Amino acid sequence: MRRAAVIGCGRMGAFTSPAVREYAPACWFPLAHAEAVQAHGDLELAALCDPSAEGLARAQAHYGVARGYADHLSLLKAEELDLVTVATRTIGRAGIIADCFDVGVRALHIEKPLCSSVAELRRIEAMEAGGDLFLTYGTVRRFFPIYRHAVTLASGGDYGALREIRATLGQGALYWTHPHAVDLILMAAGGRRVEAVQARLAGVERAAGAMTIKTDPVIEAATIWFEDGVAGHIGRSPGMDLVLSCQSAELTVLNDGHGLAISDYSGANPYPDRQSVTVGFDPEAPAGTLAPIRELVACLDGDATARRSNAANRRAILTGQHILFAMVQSHLESARPVALDAVDPAIVIEARTGGNNA
Ligand SMILES: NC(=O)c1ccc[n+]([C@@H]2O[C@H](COP(=O)([O-])OP(=O)(O)OC[C@H]3O[C@@H](n4cnc5c(N)ncnc54)[C@H](O)[C@@H]3O)[C@@H](O)[C@H]2O)c1
């Protein structure tokens, strides 16, 4: 058995919110990190960590875990761990990732967003460049069979070339909601290179004379332009859909994975033929956070397919974070297209809402 620990025992770490439990489709579960670790047959949930004594005790009792720590340094000092999951809020997360790396942990599942600043992102990139760090991320839809099937169909050529990707996750904030939209767009775009990012945000509160954004701005509209003209759009439309527009059809993963529909245009009829797709994926297969954790364990076991998949997933995690910073840069420059390497290295996003950060 490999030994794992969860850092941060709130909603994502330990206690999935009742609304998600009630409404999300089956493919979202097990979602809480601790639950996913315990669902993996080759992992022992060896320890939990949270500075809230009450939260820690509650999680320890719920999961039957004897060893609990109030801070991650004590955890890392006392426990030999193969895999760590990080479900704290974003500020400070990059430091936790670095501390895990420094003691030799090589498999990390990290909540989104990855980090708070461009400087932190560069440090994480340097760790990842060593090639022996396996990472997965809280944007878990990319692991669900229904999303994978939709992307396979859209990129297979039967419907012509992919032209446009839309992630409609409602009116959402850059850090709280839209790491998910960005990741879905990157997943659908495959390995296409990002050419530029344009964004118009609302609620940007900037610290005087600095590149620090104090708030978590709403994305009013954003476009990610890929090398071959494919465009990924994020707006404020309600719904929880991923829409993949090809030359002759539109494929939509509906309602966070509740269903998949194809609107197919053919012949002289200008109106699409709409069909539900029910084959090619298992809507009930347990995925949630267990799916990325399975990939991490397979990477540790030396599985070549998992390692290839993880290399692509790591690129998407890092690129996705660059895109969030580029959206801020674009907004500050009147929504002009910004290349990912043209982002001000001084950008910090505190993403504060009320008394908390994203
Ligand atoms: N993947 C998703 O769908 C999804 C959904 C909701 C939230 N999130 C993300 O997950 C993260 C956590 O969100 P949440 O809703 O679970 O928050 P939360 O406030 O419920 O939980 C965070 C927990 O981390 C603990 N914590 C804070 N600092 C810590 C530290 N240094 N070491 C250990 N524990 C620490 C807190 O005491 C708290 O228990 C956020 O970044 C959020 O953006 C992801």
Query: How far, in Å, are 93, 95, 255 from residue 119 at the CA level?
Result: 13, 12, 36
Residue 181 banded pLDDT, cuts 50, 70, 90? very high
- 162 and 222 both lie in a single domain: yes
Domain for residue 313, yes or no? no
| Position 321, amino acid | Q
Q: What is the DSSP string of 16-75?
A: --HHHHHHS-GGG-S-SHHHHHHHSTTEEEEEEE-S-HHHHHHHHHHHT--EEESSHHHH
Rounded CA gap, 109 and 100, in Å?
A: 11
Domain count, the chain: 2
Domain for residue 98, yes or no? yes
Q: Give the per-residue pLDDT at 57.
A: 98
Rounded CA gap, 113 and 86, in Å?
A: 11
Report the CATH number at residue 196. Answer: 3.30.360.10
The per-type count for the chain, helices as H runs and strands as E runs, is 10, 17
- 271 and 173 both lie in a single domain: yes
- 37 and 71 both lie in a single domain: yes
- 343 and 264 both lie in a single domain: yes
Closest-lying ligand 1 atom to the alpha carbon of residue 93:
31
Q: Give the per-residue pLDDT at 78.
A: 98
Domain for residue 232, yes or no? yes
- Ligand 1 proximity of 17 Cβ (cutoff 6 Å): no
Q: Give the per-residue pLDDT at 283.
A: 86
Q: Report the separation in Å between the CA atom of 248 and the middle of ligand 1, taken as the mean of its atom positions.
A: 42
- 197 and 293 both lie in a single domain: no
**Which carries the bigger pLDDT value, residue 321 or residue 268?**
321
Does the pLDDT value for residue 149 go beyond 90? Answer: yes
Other beta carbons within 10 angstroms of residue 301's beta carbon come to 11
Domain for residue 160, yes or no? yes
Rounded CA gap, 25 and 146, in Å?
A: 11
Q: Are strands 218-226 and 231-234 parallel, antiparallel or unpaired?
A: antiparallel
Report the CATH number at residue 30. Answer: 3.40.50.720
Domain for residue 311, yes or no? no
- 90 and 202 both lie in a single domain: no
Length of the chain: 358
- 205 and 259 both lie in a single domain: yes
| Residue 49 lies in domain | 2-140+288-306
Q: Give the per-residue pLDDT at 117.
A: 98
Domain for residue 73, yes or no? yes
Residue 355 banded pLDDT, cuts 50, 70, 90? confident
Note the pLDDT tens digit of each residue in 73-105. Answer: 999 999 999 999 999 999 999 999 999 999 999
- 101 and 240 both lie in a single domain: no
- 118 and 183 both lie in a single domain: no
- Ligand 1 proximity of 310 Cβ (cutoff 6 Å): no
Rounded CA gap, 32 and 317, in Å?
A: 20
241 in helix, strand or coil?
A: strand
- Ligand 1 proximity of 112 Cβ (cutoff 6 Å): yes
DSSP character for 258?
A: T
Domain for residue 35, yes or no? yes
- 151 and 130 both lie in a single domain: no
- Ligand 1 proximity of 87 Cβ (cutoff 6 Å): yes
Domain for residue 108, yes or no? yes
